[in-house]
Each structure stands twice: as structure tokens, then as C-alpha cells.
Amino acid sequence: MSVQDRVAIVTGAAHGIGEATAGVLSGQGATVAIADIDLSAAQIVAEQLNAGGGHARAYLCDVAKPAAVAQLVQEVVNDCGRLDILVNNAAICPRIAITDMTEEWFDRIVDINMKSVFFLTRAAAEAMKVRGWGRVVNISSTGGRVGGVYNSTVYSGTKAAIIAITKTMAREYAAFGILINSVAPGAVDTPMMTKGNATLESYIQTVPLRRLAQPIEVAHSIAHLCSDETTWVTGATLDVNGGVVMV
């Protein structure tokens, strides 16, 4: 897979799937913008990638704010001269029961998980149009396919919405050479999945491969959709879930 000399933004790249994805893209020759609300952690990731011979730079971004994501795109284009790849990975999944969900938390989950995908993809696509080439990968979830497993109703709703947004935007931007797809991971060994999840062990027993995924396993699938070799796939959702859901 080739992303040599491409410029990529990965959101939520200071940890988990985002960090692993940034590492894979960097290792394949892309310049990677490590975008995260935790700037110090993003800087550590960028430093590690650069120390390994990659090209990365940390950017502070609150993806819940449309003005902030527009500024992120502009800063990356100013710094790197172009933008080719966007991975919308940033998300939160507070474990809140339906009866305990507040309007404040509802809006926060929607803003970070879903609204950010729309506004950042729109801003990135405008920058990609200039070159007539682009790749966008939105991170959905198995929860977006079948519903939440444990106190993740609103989270799962946002992840289902991402699948629909992906399809609609893929149609809109195909004429400009921009391919937009999503990846729907199952249970991944990150704090988002494991922290406070009282049903984790029983869930693992429903997975044919009988284990959690490692972030790097999802990252390789994301990187494939970002690559030059992906030329005839758009509006699709790739299920990377160990077989727990087969669509």
C-alpha cells in the first residue's frame, strides 16, 4: 500500500486507533498531522514518529467546533502545502445509562463523534479538490451496525449516522476524485472499550475470534482505504470486528 509523499490528518491521534493509524501512515511515507485535544500527548506521538524517520507534527484541535476544524485544515495546508488524506477518528464513549443521559452529555457526544465528521470532511474536501485526489476514512463502529452493547446508546447512534454521512458525502465528492469510506471496528483493546465496561468478557465470547483487536489491526485496514491502491471503493463501510457482525 502506498501513501508515499501524501499529507494526512488523523484526529484523536494521540491514543488508540488514531495513534496506530498515524504510525502506519507515517511508516508508509506520509506526512501526518497528529490532531488531538490533548496537545502534549499529540506532541509525544509526533516526536516518536519523527525519531523513527517519519514526518509528523502535532496540532491542537477541538473537533467539536466547526471553526476549529476549518482552522486545522488551513494550518496543515499552510504548513505542508497540501492535504490528501483525512481520518476522522476522534470520538468519546462515556458509559451512561439511558435513564441517566443528560442533554449536555447527549450534545457533547454528538458534537465530538458526528458533527465533527461532517464539518471536518467538508473542509478537507475543499482542500483536496485542488488536486483532484483525496481519501477520507470515517471511523464508525459495530455499535453503529447493531446498536450499543453496554450504556452506549447515543454513541452507537452517532456511529450509525457516520455510515449514512459517509455514503452521502461519497456521492457528493466522487466527481472530484475524492473517495470517502468508513471503517466499523468491533471491540478494540483501548480504554474506550475496556474502561467501565461490565459486559466486556461476555461480549468477547460472542466474537468468533474470541479476543479484542489490537489498534494496529484496525489501523492497517484504515491505511488501505487511504492508499493509492484503493481506486474503486467509495461510500463503503469495512467491518473489522473479528466476525461478530457479518453484513
The arrangement of strands across the sheet holding 237-240 comes to 55-60, 31-36, 7-11, 85-88, 134-139, 178-185, 237-240
What are residue 135's DSSP bridge partners? 85, 179
Tell me, letter by letter, the H, E, C secondary structure of 19-31: HHHHHHHHHCCCE
Residue 69: CB atoms within 10 A of its CB come to: 29
CA distance 6 to 55: 11
- Given the residues 59, 155, 173, 203, the one annotated as active site: 155
Q: Give Cβ neighbours of residue 60 (< 8 Å, ≥ 6 apart).
A: 35, 36, 37, 39, 42
Q: What is the rounded distance in angstroms from the CA atom of residue 237 to the CA atom of residue 245? A: 12
CA 34 to chain centroid, in Å, comes to: 12
Question: Got the DSSP string for 65-89?
Answer: -HHHHHHHHHHHHHHHS---EEEE-
Active site (annotated) includes residue 203: no
Distance CA 72, CA 144 (A): 27
Return the active site residues: 155
